[in-house]
Amino acid sequence: MSDRAREKEEKIRCDACPVMCYIAPGKVGACDRYANEDGKIVRCDPFTVLDRRLAAGDEVRPFLKSDWDGEVMGNETLAISGVGAGTTYPDYKPAPFIVSQEVDGADFVTVVTEAIYSYCGVKVKIDTDRHLGEEAATVRAQGEAVGHVTTSEYGSQMLSLGGVEHLTGGSKPEGRVTCDTLLRLCNREAVELTIDGGATVTVQAGKAPIVDGQREERMRVGCGSATIGMFASQWHGLVDEVVVVDDHITGVVSEHQAGKVLGWPDTGIRIKGRRSTPGRYFQVANPGLGWGGTDIDDPLAILNPWLEKKGARPGLTLLMVSTTGEHAAYYVLDDDLTPQPTPMPEALQPSVDLIAENCEPALCTVMFQAGAGGSLRSGVTRNPVKLTRSVQALKTRVTCGGAPAYVWPGGGITLMVDVTQMPEGSFGYVPTPALVAPLEFTLPREDYRVLGGHDKAVRSLSDILEKGGEYGSAARAVGPKGKA
């Protein structure tokens, strides 16, 4: 036999995903998650036990059988997660771990697997007033399209990334880069994204966004109108007029209902833009990186000439401020009713500082969203639709790496989870391309039998801790919120 034939014979085929890699001794598959160890396919990372007794930062690694003393460290505090559990592929077989555990005197079953998600993506919330890009603009990573800008929310802008069209519907480079981008974002790594016609933004779950090289410090306290409503009383008696500059709704205190209730006199001010209701203006400027998320550096650019017959007079004072307090300027009208820059009075500075104090820290939020398809549900029950109906009826609890998942109403099991609540390194991939993520279904044992579940595959927690699973027996325990 030739050396080449012998080498081929020594390789083992891994059936943990549709790629079906042939793995040589001592090597890992294309996913870096499974390896050939002494002629057996093993999981490279240990499966994860969630231990509620551990404080954040603590970690224990109970390696089983050889080093374990047999004690189950308090069943009520432990739970097996899907992290490192292995997959159900080719799906007809039971999930890697189906665990029986007593909770408050009742027998519960948790079905644990690592799901392969071809239909998945992330929703990214970016706390910033700065303009990132037009709605529906393409978002790119490494030059490849990976998603788009979606609707702005209150004080934040949103990106929708991934999805089956980018993973499998485009070119191979697009699918590969999309998968890599999703994987890194879900595992809380920093990713640089560019938006067509817009900004370059660095996104990392739980960290402040960096927009065109500038780190965001705070999200806005509210729109310009809301800021007027919150702080009008702080300005009353200290300044004649206040304008809160905002890309969406710019507020003018003398016209606003909050000012009227306080007895604020008219000032003759006139604002460029489209007037909505009293004291509220839309479209005062274009979106940008300047004051209040607009493209202006000089706030006076949004003012038309003042009207003397409406109350304008020499000496009238004006405070202009952004919705984060990052920008603020003070003016006094001269004899020609032209605002002239003047040093900020000490009495007014605390009100600007109060706006900044009420702004929350700017963060990036990464929500993993995926559809748990019919095939992986076969690892839970022989009649998958019963599991779907149980989940929708809230009889079966869905978690991802122990973190609570929100399940969307309607058909199927479409879930969404905050990646910062999951153990670090929870996500993997297969080069189909698709993401791999932990998934757990928990329900009473009796209900599991009614679903047509794989009852003969149910094992006790003690047995799992002692013997492990199909892909090895190593385990680790992590503390609350997955912060090992």
The pLDDT of residue 145 is 98
The pLDDT of residue 479 is 74
How confident is the model over 407-419, as pLDDT tens digits? 999 989 999 999 9
Helix and strand totals (H; E) in the chain: 10, 35
Q: How far apart are the first and last CA of the chain?
A: 49
104 and 193 assigned to the same domain: no
14 and 97 assigned to the same domain: no
- The predicted model gives 425-447 an average pLDDT of 93
CA angle 78, 461, 472 (to 5 degrees): 100
More confident residue, 17 or 289: 289
The pLDDT of residue 68 is 41
- The predicted model gives 263-267 an average pLDDT of 97
Least confident of 20-24, 136-140, 399-403: 20-24
Q: Is the pLDDT of residue 122 over 90?
A: yes
79 and 137 assigned to the same domain: no
Which of 49-53, 111-115, 260-264 has the largest mean confidence? 260-264
The pLDDT of residue 273 is 93
Q: Helix 349-357 vs helix 224-235: angle between axes, to the nearest 10 degrees?
A: 140
- Give me the residue label for tokens 């948790």: 110
250 and 200 assigned to the same domain: no
Last residue of a domain, one of 215, 241, 265: 215
- pLDDT bucket at 90, cuts 50 / 70 / 90: confident
Least confident of 374-378, 421-425, 427-431, 453-457: 374-378
Residue 185 corresponds to which tokens in the numbers above?
A: 């974002």
230 and 309 assigned to the same domain: yes
Considering the entire predicted model, what is its pTM? 0.86
Report the distance separating Cα 349 and Cα 302, nearest Å: 23
Closest of 477, 402, 481 to residue 64, by C-alpha: 477
- Is 366 domain-assigned? no
CA distances from 137 to 51, 164, 365 (A): 43, 18, 20
The pLDDT of residue 54 is 62
Last residue of a domain, one of 333, 357, 381: 357
Count other C-beta atoms under 10 Å from residue 446's C-beta.
11
CA distances from 104 to 32, 139, 296 (A): 39, 48, 60
334 and 230 assigned to the same domain: yes
- Is 477 domain-assigned? yes
- The predicted model gives 98-126 an average pLDDT of 90
The pLDDT of residue 67 is 44
Closest of 330, 366, 359 to residue 345, by C-alpha: 330
- The predicted model gives 264-275 an average pLDDT of 96
Report the distance separating Cα 21 and Cα 18, nearest Å: 9
Least confident of 46-50, 55-59, 182-186, 256-260: 55-59
142 and 244 assigned to the same domain: no
- The predicted model gives 122-142 an average pLDDT of 95
Q: Is the pLDDT of residue 301 over 60?
A: yes
Last residue of a domain, one of 357, 390, 420: 357
Closest of 184, 189, 132, 190 to residue 162, by C-alpha: 184
The strand pairing partners of 287, in sequence order, are 294
Q: Is the pLDDT of residue 347 over 60?
A: yes
- Is 364 domain-assigned? no
138 and 34 assigned to the same domain: no
How confident is the model over 32-81, as pLDDT tens digits? 878 888 888 888 777 788 876 665 555 554 444 434 444 444 445 678 88
The pLDDT of residue 9 is 56
- Give the H/E segment covering residue 162: strand 156-162
436 and 467 assigned to the same domain: yes
237 and 329 assigned to the same domain: yes
Please tell me the total number of residues recorded for the chain in this structure: 484
The pLDDT of residue 69 is 45
88 and 162 assigned to the same domain: no
228 and 341 assigned to the same domain: yes
- Is 365 domain-assigned? no
Q: Indicate the average pLDDT of the chain.
A: 89
CA angle 449, 464, 398 (to 5 degrees): 50
37 lies in which domain range? 3-43
Least confident of 220-224, 437-441, 468-472: 468-472
Report the distance separating Cα 240 and Cα 195, nearest Å: 41
Report the distance separating Cα 261 and Cα 275, nearest Å: 20
More confident residue, 407 or 86: 407
The number of distinct structural domains making up the chain is 4
